[in-house]
Amino acid sequence: MVFAGLLLAGVLIPAYRDISSPGAWSYWKDFFGSPSMTASAVNMADGRKALAIAGRIGPASASWFREQLDAAKLASGDVIFLSSPGGSLDQGLIMGAVVRSRGLTTVVGKVNSESRPQPSRCASACVFVFAGGKVREAMPRSALGVHQFSSTSSRGEESANDLVARTQQTTGMILDYMTRMGVSPSIMQAMTASKDIRWLTEKEAFDLNLTTARYAGR
């Protein structure tokens, strides 16, 4: 019994440490408690189904997003409307990969109380979700915003060289992702130009192949 008790403690104590960490609690709260994003299913006038996603990309947004897509039963060619100031970089990348794997179209926009699409903004990590679209439509008066990404750490012992190395790793990961999504590598020049949000003009977005078509909805 003593041995069994020690064995159980050896399993439960590390598990408790895992779930009681700030990152873990943030994840569970975002996934099960109060999700940072909202979703609305929409039937578009052109016959396509759509899911309108709005809000900040939180620590569990990718798992939440998969569940919303499954519930909405979107098929290849259906639409994801995006309205978000950004948020978690890694969650945005995962969400974009999910969008691409399902062959969905992305549009920067939101829906009003009558489920009609309206212009909106998609910035920072939201741009990676948008980039996942197999087709990426430009809605008039909507905007895409990019900025410089860097790695930060609360660990005081991390050296400046380590911080630079992690920042370079993050930049390389972003460049690889955007290239695989068909976006021009020149997007990195726009991103690294400023730490503040830089809102791309429609022409810039098309020139970078970040947007690939005009908005087809009504």
CA-only gyration radius of the chain, Å? 20
| Ordered alpha helix ranges (H), 83-186 | 89-101, 126-131, 160-180
pLDDT at 194: 84
Q: How much is the pLDDT for 13?
A: 39
For residue 28, tell me if it sits in a domain.
Answer: no
Does the residue 31 lie in any domain? no
Q: Is residue 20 part of a domain?
A: no
pLDDT digits (tens), the chain, 218 positions: 543 443 334 433 343 444 444 455 566 556 566 789 999 999 998 889 999 999 999 999 999 999 999 999 999 999 999 999 999 999 999 999 999 999 999 999 999 988 889 999 999 999 999 999 999 999 999 999 999 886 555 455 566 677 677 778 888 999 999 999 999 999 999 998 888 999 999 999 999 999 999 998 86
Residue 151 pLDDT:
57
CATH number of the domain within which 91 lies = 3.90.226.10
Determine, yes or no, domain membership for 24. no
**Cβ 213 vs Cβ 205: under 8 Å:** no
Encode 46-58: b = buried (16+ Cβ within 10 Å), e = exposed: eebbbbbbbbbbb
Please tell me the predicted confidence (pLDDT) of residue 8: 36
Say if 61 falls within a structural domain: yes
In whole angstroms, give the CA distance from residue 212 to residue 193: 23
Q: Cα separation of 85 and 106, whole Å? A: 16
Q: Show the domain range for 73.
A: 38-147+161-214
pLDDT at 14: 46
Chain Cα centroid distance, residue 146: 13
Tally of domains within the chain? 1
53 domain residue, yes or no: yes
Contact between 64 and 36 under an 8 Å Cβ cutoff? The reply is: no
Contact call for residues 189 and 198 (beta carbons, < 8 A): no
